[in-house]
Structure 1
Amino acid sequence: MTPLPIDAHLAEIVSRTRERRSLVLVAPPGAGKTTRVPVALIKAGVLSPQHPALVLLQPRRVAARAAADRIAAENGWALGEEVGYQIRFERKYGPRTRIRVLTEGILNRRLIADPFLEGIGAVVLDEFHERSLHTDLALALLREIRDTVRDDLVIVVMSATMDAEPVARFLIDAPVMHVEGRTFPVEIVHRPTVRPSSAEAVLAAVEEALAAGGDPSDILVFLPGAEEIRRAGARLRPLAEREGLLVLPLHGGLSTEEQRRPLCPSERRKVVLATNIAETSLTIDGVRTVIDCGLARFASVDPQRGLDRLELGRISRASATQRAGRAGRTSPGRCLRLWSEREHRGLAEADLPEIHRVDLCGTALVLHAWGQADPRSFGWYDPPTEQRLNAAEDLLTWLGARDTSGRITPLGRQMLELPVHPRLGRLLIAAAHDGFVRQGAALAALLSEKDILSFQPGGTGPRVSGRGSSDLLVRLDLLAQAEHARFSPGLRDRGVDPGGARRVVQVRDDLIRTSRRLPGARESWNEEPDEDLMLRWVVLAYPDRVVRRRGSEVTGLMVGGRGVRLAPESVVRDAEFFVALDPREDRRGGTSEARVRLASALSVDWLEELFPDAVRRERLVRFDEERQRPVGVNTFSYRGLPLREDRNAPVDPAEASRALAEFLQPRAAAFFQEDEAAAAWLARLTFLTQALPDLDGPVIDDAVLAEILAEASAGKRSVDELKRGQLLPLLKGRLTYAQNQWLDEHAPEALVVPSGSRIRLTYEPGRPPVLAVRLQELFGWTETPRVARKRVAVLLHLLGPNYRPVQVTEDLSSFWATTYFQVRKDLRARYPKHSWPDDPLSARAEAKGSRRS
């Protein structure tokens, strides 16, 4: 067995673990912690004799299989005997297996079925720094088990890059060990590239690595996803043929055999194109050159909108360190980073833990099955936000997995038996109950795995045309064709990913076996479900994503008020209502609508049948702005989403008046301004309260106007009818008799001028009142009139015979003494029939022309 750095510390690791039944171990990549520590704990007898097995948790399926393989090889054991593994849909261990390598989801389901962990003496959580949702939950559940019913349970947490102290505190002062690894220097070279994950960038980087010469070692290339890996592999093909290279993909969508190939020694020089599953745990012997594009895809969900996101983003500095460390496992190496040093300094220190970015529905279901009525009071290692927990709880209720008091339902317990999201568990249960396990499993597999259709920018794309009831049924037909064609590579020319289709079929078959164990499951061997039945299963799984089409054939409004837009490749173009199966944030083109590639039509009648408590029928009275009157509306809605409306229902007069008032009250001030008499009266009152604040006059603000308008609306059925009424008496009614007298005296509506005419004053905010009057009507008036207890002089607009202003003044006596004679000179020639006396103070005022009042 090859010596590893961890070997010298195994005795101390065993001693500390035996003493405290827990340990937090930090050791660099390549130190050997994954394969050596579990074996040391088993051989040293640290585990209780009553519980002799050890569980080693790995965050990824590829790593779990690889770790089990390596432990078996290092110890001369048989895989499936002394050491084995279990991942989703795959199990290889027996009753005598002492070390079981599991993914965390497998352990969490085991804990629900057996909260005493019978037979398991120790659990080792490896690569804890990745902070998957399952890891966080597993750690909290294990601590609760140890603190309540299994004080002999050993818990070991291991990682290459993590802050050990918070974990140690959570495990009640667990000892912490830092082990220095065998460090080989890794030369870091930055090669900034505009599109670091492009096939061209990968080709250039591989060519540079080959040109370095003198180093025949393998090359590991990190890329964001399977599609980038496929493109890079195609672009590298000519170079690989010329240089004798073996180009191998490594990602979660491959078969078990395909995932093992990159990990095995090869006579040819390998170029392994991998996603971030190769960051930790996996050891790819022979790699001394790493090419890192610095990107990864991060799954997340917006709890407020209920939308999934799979975003391409920069990795953290911790991930970059892990990736570079792959080059220095066995000897000095080199890491080619396709970004600048400046960009590197701007990277986040660590990735955001999954518990703060992904859907918590499955986690909440596990906690309810655990007996935790309120997940908020659970002993989380790192508590999620209230908003995320609320969103998860709401969805469980919608799916029927949780009752209104927070207890798990029998339906929820059935969902836990299925290795899929609770949504798809609900679909599988419905299909099994209806007697169509195989078809339900196929739909669930299509929804759980990567899309089998490939939409290439500028490519031919899938041969999907026309209109249909469901994009999911289109894929179901194509899956059958792919299976019939035995997943031929030629399927790619038709837009179907043969590898993705093969993976879906594998998952389908595994789900068939699991679903057949459900209570009440049955199989209709000689029948096929009709289309409507299958689409009803889909609605049961996505009750929160019902959409009503609006505006056009591609836009709609989803439950919760979110706008959605169908992608061009969707065939669901005619149904008024559909389920958005994959709504994702898409701000391309400046739109905030969620983009939907997978949609499935539904009938409104199904909603009434499947979710009777969520459908509401209401009779409302609303104000119709177009018709300017209240109208009766009979509404039919599903979880707040309007489904149908009848806007011509009869309206009770009292309800009509109330709706009229409710509509106009926020607009009361503007409504009164549209009434000339009311607006003039309000202007007078406002002027006087500002001019004479010491009088403590009444205040009629927007709130009071709204009250007055509510009174005026009584018995009215439209805005026009209300406008025909008298608003001024209602305003005056807010003042006492004395206050109305005070208003008329100190802010008069009009003034009587020397000619005998009664001329209206104009009141405007922030200005003195204006008296617009013909000059001849003021002869003999020596002083400017004043209002507001004579504190405010009236602004005189002196008009000519044509009623146009010839002078504006606040000092009438000064005007007569000076300006009048110039005005007289200018106007006398134009209007000789009008009086232009030499002495206007002694002349008789004239009211010629039309009177203005």
Structure 2
Amino acid sequence: MKTDLPIQQIIPELRLLFQEKDTGVLIAEPGAGKTTVVPLALLEEPWVAGRKIIMLEPRRLAARSAAARMAASLGEKAGQTVGYRVRMDTRVSQSTRIEVVTEGVLTRMLQQDQGLEDTAMIIFDEFHERHLHGDLGLALALESRAMLRPDLKLLVMSATLNPAPVCTLLGEGTQWIDCPGRTFPVETRYVSKPASEQIETFTAEAVVKALAEQEGDVLVFLPGAKEIHRTERELSNRMIPAYVEVHALYGSMPVERQDEAVRPADEGKRKVVLSTSIAESSLTLAGVKVVVDAGLSRASVFSPRTGMSRLVTLPVSKASADQRRGRAGRIAPGVCYRLWSEEAHGALPEAAKPEIASADLAPLALELAAWGVQSPAELQWLDTPPAAAYGQAQALLRQLGGLDEAGRITPFGRRMNTLGVHPRLASMLLRAAELGLASYASMLAALLQEPAGLRSSGSAGADTDLRPRVEALLTADSSAMPQAAASVADVAAVRRMLLESRQLRSALGPAADPVRPDEDSCGWLLSFAYPDRIGQRREDGRYLLSSGRGVRLAATESLSRSAYLVAAEADDQGADARILLAAPVQEKRLLDLGPHLLHEEVQVAWDRNTRSVRAHRRLQIGAITLKESSIAQPPEDQVLEALLSGIRIEGLDCLPWTKSSRQLADRMRFLHHHLPEWPDLIEDHLTEELAEHLSPFLTGMRSAADLKRLAMQDVLLGGLSWEQRQQLDREAPTHIQVPSGSRIPVDYSRPEDPTLAVRLQEMFGQQETPPIGGGRVPLTIHLLSPAQRPEQVTRDLANFWRETYFEVKKDLKGRYPKHYWPDDPLEAIATNRAKPRV
């Protein structure tokens, strides 16, 4: 073990801290040596008592590298005192006392032994990366401490993390220790990329410039494997010295090629390592004196609304940019070329958002259910999982059969959780094993876990169908590796997928499939993994997913003719997301999916086209309908509700109103206006009161034509008591008898202002305005000429006779000389003729 590393200065303080406490935080700057020194320094402390120390390392490459360096410092190989457990690669033995594990492995260890009785301490390294399983692992470890293992020691380590919130989370009395790093000065040069230039082209130019201007190896940061390979091609087209070796470095590469990339360059050689953010922390690349940073990172962003994730390329945070720059100052002074402007740097976020804030939470929800927790609120978190995303995750797990309606894990869900893959794929693998298609499903699952860039060459349309690639992998498992690589992306990816497939297959049981897969097997199995992405073809060639989301194929291809397909991947952009990976599925397969996905719905509803009640039985998966049939005799109560709904839709004009029934409704509205306890009958919509009155008269009716048989006067009166009918006739009379003896109808169309239109001569002798509504509401009188035209409107008849009549009389007498126009209207005889009878 090196004794000159800065971390050695604080080891005594760290030992003392854990002699007195069970939790702590270590903030150690890059280059301090915390990853490889701390576990070994604490291994022989008395409180370890022969038990293990588990160190969580977020990335597989960093985990293997850290274990190898610690083992080498002991003069051993990984797998002896120091070992590691990462996905698809384990090096541990009976003598292993320090295990470096990746995040998913730690979660599995905690699920299998919640007390971790053989473990003295868990170290969470590089916790600032805030991966989902890191947050989950810490939450579960805290719960284990609280319930089972109060002596379990927890140490959180980071270079850039704010320690205060973590100390609060770990509990009262938690302290943090600061340790300076050992880095040499790094000169930062900002080289802004023109907007028109491709990132790969500009990065290659910057690498060539760095090789010419600086000494040492060059570490280049790019967002993903696609950009790395394109930059490789750009560099191969440029005149770089023959002694410069170019290596790629990303997470899904084979282990041998990763090790080759991080190995020091041979004497007389220089290296250019094109890497993703995998090289940001916990890795020391010997010989690197120059960093070229494109300033971008790739992240998966999940949408709870659609249930889909999409890869986005984002500017890095300032913390990540500083981590990357620090790689150039590990062994000597260095230079960092940042391919953006200094002004743009000022606008970068301080730190990246934790993965838990934007990730697909289905794996987390299944892990918590397996732990015995139905709500994240039952555990302690640095950032609580978002409620919307967590609710969507639980809904998906119910669809998959992993949770029951109460949110508890099912026996099937427990089997899903043992496979160590996304719950979607676990569901597919287990269902496939029941159907005798485990080998095929294992190959499909291995393919789906690969980065999208390695599953497709990127051409639109031609690569959407998953079936040829699965078939190529099945062939490669027997013989033809190159043909499979042509269908996928490269030979290394094929090897990795075959290894993954065999490991998944071994977890499912017997080696051989008893059932031979056919051309429909791929889509059928996908439907068990993506029940929310089963798509039904629309008339315009696009597809409606069972989740309700619209999707489309990028180009016309063989899949375009499929009535149904399952979209394993879509870009989740625009009104209709573009399908990236899919396979067709036959309707008969969907009909066998089971009651947890299929549901039958009887729909009795008003059809606006036929203006009648139509009843259908629908077999559905979410938003799509597989089968539909008419129902001849639907339940009467549902017919009634649909008919009332139709009346609401069509409006009350669809009812057979007569002149008398309209007046009756208006009279009732008049009384309701002045007496609120009366039924509310507003003509522009169907009120609850009117619906209640209508219902007994609608028996046997199903259409607008049937409604013509209604007697609306009976409907309205049927809802009134005997007392209300008496009050209606008394306070809202249909007619008023005027002095001439005529019975004049009252117009109640404006309930706040009922009117009486009557010829002026018929009102002679009427001294006051006649009131209604029990004497509370004076009528508005429209006094008409002999030609039935309004001459005067008044609610004060006495004032009209006194002030206005004589002016009106002059005009009318001139126009109608043969009519009777007395000088004293109050003493005159009212008449409905030209002159009163003698």
TM, length-normalised to structure 2: 0.83
Q: Distance in 2 between matches of 1:416 and 1:300?
A: 23
Quickly say closer, same or farther: Cα 1:791–1:515, change in 2 above 3 A: closer
Q: 1:599 aligns with which of 582, 586, 592?
A: 582
Letter in 1 for 2:199: A
1:96 aligns to what?
Answer: 95
Q: Which amino acid aligns with 1:705?
A: L
TM-aligned CA deviation for residue 226 of structure 1: 2.0
Corresponding position of 2:701: 716
Counterpart of 2:50 in structure 1: which amino acid? Answer: Q
Residue aligning to 1:181: 181
- Shift in CA distance, 202/133, structure 1 to aligned 2, threshold 3 Å: same
Worse-matched range after superposition: 838-847 or 30-39 = 838-847
Q: Given that residues 27 and 178 in structure 1 are in contact (C-alpha distance below 8 angstroms), is that contact kept between their aligned partners in structure 2?
A: yes
1:851 corresponds in structure 2 to: none
Match of 2:430 in 1: 429
CA RMSD in angstroms, aligned pairs only: 4.3
Name the counterpart of 2:489: 498
Aligned to 1:14: 15
Structure 1 letter corresponding to 2:626? L
Instruction: Choose the corresponding residue for 2:782, options 781, 796, 816.
Output: 796
Please show how residues 676-715 of structure 1 align to structure 2 within 5 Å: 677-687=660-670, 690=673, 698-700=678-680, 702-715=687-700
Separation in 1 of the partners of 2:457 and 2:750? 65
Superposed displacement of residue 31, structure 1: 1.6
1:350 deviates by 3.3
1:355-405: CA deviation from partner (whole Å, max 9, x where unpaired): 333233333444454455777645556543455444444444443445667
* Aligned-partner residue type, residue 543 of structure 1: P
Residue aligned with 2:540, SS: coil
Work out the number of aligned pairs and report it: 816
Whether 2:773 is the aligned partner of 1:769: answer: no
How many Å apart are 1:126 and its aligned residue?
A: 0.6
Q: Deviations over 1:237-280 (max 9, x none)?
A: 43453797544332223222332344233355544433222222
Partner residue in 1 for 2:282? 281
Q: Which position in structure 2 is the counterpart of 1:24? A: 25
Deviations 1:39-58 (A, max 9, x none): 2223x44563432x433221
CA spacing shift, 1:262–1:196, aligned 2, 3 Å: farther
Give the corresponding residue for 1:634. 617
* Structure 1 residue matching 2:253: 3-state secondary structure: coil
Aligned residue for 1:545? 533
Distance in 2 of aligned mates of 1:148 and 1:411: 27
1:142 aligned partner:
141
Instruction: Give 1:726's aligned amino acid.
Output: A
Letter in structure 1 aligned against 2:566: V
Aligned amino acid, residue 363 of structure 2: G
1:67-216 aligned within 5 A: 67-72=66-71, 76-115=75-114, 117=116, 120-146=119-145, 153-172=152-171, 173-182=173-182, 184-187=184-187, 198-199=198-199, 202-203=202-203, 206=206, 210=210, 214-216=213-215
- Offset of residue 734 of structure 1: 4.2
Deviation at 1:704, TM superposition (A): 1.7
Match of 2:361 in 1: 360
What is residue 228 of structure 1 aligned with on the other side?
227
1:657-676 deviation per Cα after TM superposition (whole angstroms, max 9, x unaligned): 35423554688867679665
- 1:645-704 deviation per Cα after TM superposition (whole angstroms, max 9, x unaligned): 2124234656533542355468886767966544443434444554x56xx762425332
User: Structure 1's 490 and 583: CA in aligned 2 closer, same or farther, altered over 3 A?
Assistant: closer
Distance 2:315 2:262 in 1: 26
Cα distance in 1, alignment partners of residues 166 and 128 from structure 2: 10
The one-letter code matched in structure 1 to 2:179 is V
Correspondence 1:242-253 to 2 at 5 A: 246-253=245-252
Instruction: Give the CA deviation at 1:158.
Output: 0.5
For 2:480 and 2:651, locate their aligned partners in 1 and report how far apart those are by CA, in whole Å.
Answer: 72
Q: Quickly say closer, same or farther: Cα 1:357–1:66, change in 2 above 3 A.
A: same
Aligned to 1:523: 512
Cα distance in structure 2, aligned partners of 1:190 and 1:377: 47
- Closer/same/farther in 2, CA of residues 130 and 733 from structure 1, 3 Å limit: same
Question: Cα–Cα, structure 1 residues 269 and 608, in superposed 2: closer, same or farther, change >3 Å?
Answer: same
Candidates 463, 468, 482, aligned match of 1:474: 468
* Match status 1:661 vs 2:644: yes
CA distance in 2 between counterparts of 1:709 and 1:435 reads: 59
Partners of 1:621 and 1:503 in 2: how far apart? 54
Cα offset, 1:721, TM superposition: 2.2
Mark the CA change 1:688 to 1:652 in structure 2 (over 3 Å): closer, same or farther. closer
* CA distance, structure 2, for counterparts of residue 384 and residue 216 of structure 1: 46
1:410/1:774 CA distance change after superposition, 3 Å: closer
Q: Report the CA distance shift for 1:749/1:109 in structure 2 as closer, same or farther (over 3 A).
A: same
Q: What is the TM-score normalised by the length of structure 1?
A: 0.82
In 1, Cα distance between equivalents of 2:713 and 2:13: 94
Structure 1 residue 629: deviation in Å?
A: 2.5
Q: CA deviation at 1:146?
A: 4.7
Partner Cα separation in structure 1 for residue 376 and residue 806 of structure 2? 90
Query: CA deviation digits over 1:482-512, x for unaligned, max 9?
Result: 8977548994xxxx5523x642442233331
Amino acid at match of 2:568: L
Q: 1:666 to 1:430 in 2, by over 3 A?
A: closer
Partner SS, residue 319 of structure 2? helix
In the TM superposition, residue 105 of structure 1 has moved relative to its aligned partner by 1.2
Whole-Å Cα distance in 2 between the matches of residues 685 and 229 of structure 1? Answer: 80
**Partner SS state of residue 224, structure 1:** coil
CA distance in 2, matches of 1:100, 1:686: 82
Partner AA of 1:794 in structure 2: T
For residues 658 and 203 of structure 2, what CA distance do their matches in structure 1 show?
A: 77
Q: Work out the CA distance in 2 between the residues paired with 1:242 and 1:777.
A: 117
- How far did 1:59 drift? 0.6
Give the corresponding residue for 2:6: 5
Distance in 1 between residues matched to 2:213 and 2:262, nearest whole Å: 23
Tell me, yes or no, if the aligned pair for 1:554 and 1:567 is still in contact at 8 Å. Answer: no
Deviation at 1:437, TM superposition (A): 4.4
User: Is the Cα contact below 8 Å between 1:301 and 1:308 reproduced in 2?
Assistant: yes
Query: Do the aligned partners of residues 704 and 410 (structure 1) sit closer, same or farther apart at CA in structure 2, a change above 3 Å counting?
Result: closer
Amino acid at match of 2:12: A
1:726 equivalenced with 2:727 (yes/no): no
CA shift in 2, pair 1:557/1:739, >3 Å: same
Distance 1:674-1:568 versus aligned 2 partners, 3 A rule: farther
Q: Report if aligned partners of 1:23, 1:157 keep a CA contact under 8 Å in 2.
A: yes
- Rounded to whole Å, the distance in 2 between the matches of 1:750 and 1:194 is 87
Separation in 2, partners of 1:276, 1:676:
81
**Residues 79, 737 of structure 1: alpha-carbon distance in 2 compared, 3 angstrom cutoff:** closer
Judging changes above 3 Å, is the alpha-carbon distance between structure 1 residues 678 and 69 closer, same or farther for their aligned structure 2 residues? farther
In 2, Cα distance between the equivalents of 1:263 and 1:112? 33
Identity of matched residues, %: 36
Question: 8 Å contact 1:780–1:845 — kept in the other structure?
Answer: no
Structure 2 gaps, min length 5 = 682-686
**d(CA) in 2 for partners of 1:197 and 1:254?**
28
Find out whether 1:621 has 2:604 as its counterpart.
yes
How far, CA to CA, are the matches of 2:727 and 2:415 in structure 1?
80
> C-alpha separation between the residues in 1 aligned to 2:461 and 2:473?
13
CA distance in 2, matches of 1:774, 1:333: 107
User: Aligned letter for 1:180?
Assistant: P
Write out per-residue CA displacement over residues 547-578 of structure 1, whole angstroms, 9 at most, x where no aligned residue.
Answer: 4444433121414x444444447743344343
Distance 1:781 1:217, change over 3 A: farther
State the Cα deviation string for residues 54-99 of structure 1 (Å, max 9, x = none). Answer: 3322111122233234434555543444444332112234443443
The CA distance in 1 between the partners of 2:565 and 2:461, in whole Å, is 22
The residue aligned with 2:684 is: none
**Structure 1 residue aligned with 2:560, among 573, 587, 602?**
573
Cα distance, 1:507–1:816 mapped onto 2, change above 3 Å: same
Equivalent position to 1:511, from 480, 501, 515: 501
Alpha carbons of structure 1 residues 136 and 651: separation in structure 2 relative to 1, 3 Å: closer
